Structure 1
Amino acid sequence: MSALNTATSPVAVKRGSVTWRLVKVEFTLYVREKVAPIWGVGCPLIVLIILGSIPALREPPEAGGALTIFDMYVPVLILFNLAILALTALPNTLAGYRENGVLRRMRTTPIGPARLLTAQLVANLVIALVAMILFLAVAGLGFGVDLPRNLIGFAVAWLLAASALLSIGLLVTAVVPGRNSASAIGTVLFFPMMFFAGLWVPITLMPPVLRTISHYTPLGAGMQAFQDAYLGGFPSALPLLILAAYAAGCAVVAVRWFRWE
């Protein structure tokens, strides 16, 4: 048994090191090309600062109200960041690789779709994590917004929401032929998802039918889980299960349907 472990461990280490090198390369390219930092981080952060600078949005809607309108928009903008990364930055990057023949050349290597998509997922998760911490810091230090009362519940909800959104982005990336198709599909998905996250109309003010639909969308489920954490409770099981189902299902389909060219 020890001989078998000795023989197989170098292979496992080599595979792990290849994935890690891919993650570092993809992260470096994302930062160098500035697509994810500018659109995925900079754009939502500017919106956050603009909204926080409007005094009326930082006043409770009713006398003695616990949350201001701006307080309720902070988690929406965190989801906004995830949606831009997942539906704009990620698909355009990999679709560009396919369009320029990079993936065709990578097909001759032992990397495989699962390892390539994992590297994209991890690189974007790192950028999204930095953005989330930055948003909470700016909202708290700059505009007095409290942190979620249940930080563990918020962290779990954020991780599942990020995984779900990025897995959807990987699924789009797996099948589109080039950047134009990636942009079109990403745009078609982005605006309805943000609507159901409450970007334009708060979920609580939606008609019952739209509110129900919202709860079963990835961003609507994410918003529901965030609100539970902000109010001090651990997110309820249903939105977490919905997010986990999106994450696992889309990731598996993305690996299975992945096209090199």
Structure 2
Amino acid sequence: MSTSTAPAPVPTVDDADLRRPDRSVSRRLLASELRLMTRDPMTLTFVLVFPIVTMLIIGGSFGTEPDEAFPINPAHWYVASYFTVVIGATGLIMLPVHIASYRERGVLRRFAAAGFPRWSFAAAQLVVGLVAIAVSGTALLAVAAPVYGVPDVEDPLRVVAGVAVASVAFVSIGVLLGTLLPSARAAQATGMLLFFPSFLLGVGGPPPSVMSDVLREIADVLPLALANQAIREPWLGLGDATGPLVAVAILALVATVLAGRRTAL
């Protein structure tokens, strides 16, 4: 006697809901996605725990005095950098796995059959990704404050702009990857492959001054490294990072358009 696995539950829409504006239906989808995010071990591990633990370890490895490798307090250098790690982990690991698992189980087709607006899933994932970044980034700074101190923000407007465009860019990349990859396992493998080289070369690894010329050239063009420059340089007063900010803004625009098309129900 064979048994079958019951499909994953999907929020349903009754006739009364369909007569209401699309906004109320989409709100139910967003609330459901936010609940699922809090139960996802991938979120807790790679978006919340991993950046905090590695920041605590490497932030204390180079002391607190500027030297030839670091133009400022090394601990502050890594506190600012690891905010970008949160953004990268959300977009390259958490969201692709979550969305690919939906595709693998046919959940997206059931969303469409349930009557959700075409734009609702993409919008829900954007909000979920931004919420994950906000919560995990705040937790990172809260842990860093009593240990290393949070560096003063030298140029708040540019830092806010950098965080905003980087968050939208990588959340959109994550949504796009999740719709392209065939399974959650493939999404996890691809996400790890994209995340860790960028993390080590362009964000949370050794300082650029100790890397070879070839590695520095590679790091300079990695999207996550550009996002890090757009946030860290104005935060620490190391420059205005106009070039990286523009590059990440273009990436955000392209990725958002492509992700929106791929996730239309």
TM-score by length of 1: 0.82
Aligned counterpart, 2:7: none
Aligned counterpart, 2:235: 230
Aligned counterpart, 1:17: 24
> Is the aligned partner of 1:175 residue 2:207?
no
Give the deviation of 1:24 after TM superposition: 1.8
- Alignment check: 8 A CA contact 2:162 2:245 kept: yes
The change in CA–CA distance for 1:206 and 1:233 in structure 2 (over 3 A counts) is closer
CA–CA separation in structure 1 for the residues paired with 2:66 and 2:237: 20
Aligned counterpart, 1:126: 131
Give the deviation of 1:69 after TM superposition: 2.1
Aligned counterpart, 1:51: 58
For 1:113-192, what aligned pairs fall within 5 Å after superposition? Answer: 114-192=119-197
Q: Which amino acid aligns with 1:18?
A: V
Aligned counterpart, 2:9: none
- Alignment check: 8 A CA contact 2:75 2:148 kept: no
> 1:107-148: CA deviations, max 9, x gaps?
213435532022111112112112212222322233224232
> 1:35-94: CA deviations, max 9, x gaps?
313321112112223334x4x53321439x862222211122212222222111111111
Alignment counterpart, residue 38 of structure 2, candidates 31, 40, 53: 31
Q: Which amino acid aligns with 2:32?
A: V
- Alignment check: 8 A CA contact 2:95 2:175 kept: yes
Task: Tell me the secondary structure at the aligned position of residue 201 of structure 1.
Answer: coil
> Can you give the 5+ residue segments of structure 1 that lack an aligned partner in the other structure?
1-10
Give the deviation of 1:259 after TM superposition: 8.5
Give the deviation of 1:233 after TM superposition: 7.1
Alignment counterpart, residue 84 of structure 1, candidates 63, 66, 89: 89
- Alignment check: 8 A CA contact 1:216 1:242 kept: no
Aligned counterpart, 1:252: 257
Taking only the aligned residue pairs, the percentage that are identical comes to 29
CA–CA separation in structure 2 for the residues paired with 1:236 and 1:67: 17
Give the deviation of 1:204 after TM superposition: 4.4
Aligned counterpart, 1:219: 224
- Alignment check: 8 A CA contact 1:167 1:251 kept: yes
TM-score by length of 2: 0.81
> Can you give the 5+ residue segments of structure 2 that lack an aligned partner in the other structure?
1-17
Cα RMSD (Å): 2.8
Aligned counterpart, 1:7: none
CA–CA separation in structure 2 for the residues paired with 1:27 and 1:112: 18
Q: Which amino acid aligns with 1:248?
A: L
